[in-house]
Amino acid sequence: MREVKILEEKYCGVWGHLWEVYIQKKKPELYNLLVEKGELEEYLTGYQLAYSNRAEKIAEKLAAERGVNAQLYENDSLEWILATEKIQEEVHDTLEKEIQQ
């Protein structure tokens, strides 16, 4: 009798998920190998961590360049919120495009 593996899907964060979609489409052999070996979650977690660190550094750089800081928050918290959200959106779009290339 053949053993059937039941995959328990785990969410590995936004960057891990985007990387998973990428390798499913562009590198299906790698994806299948990782699934078969039970190493997919660890692989995606590594990408999640790496891209989270990159996203944080990019966001910090953009915030510094644009003056999105504690002083802005004290003077105009709504403007700080809007600027922070715009930066996060830009970072997400940039890294998403990078992953999809």
Q: What is the pTM of this model?
A: 0.80
Residue 4 banded pLDDT, cuts 50, 70, 90: very low
Query: Residue 59 burial (CB < 10 Å; 0-12/13-18/19+)?
Result: middle
Write the pLDDT tens digit of every residue in 18-45.
999 999 999 999 999 999 999 999 999 9
CA 63 – CA 88 distance, rounded (Å): 10
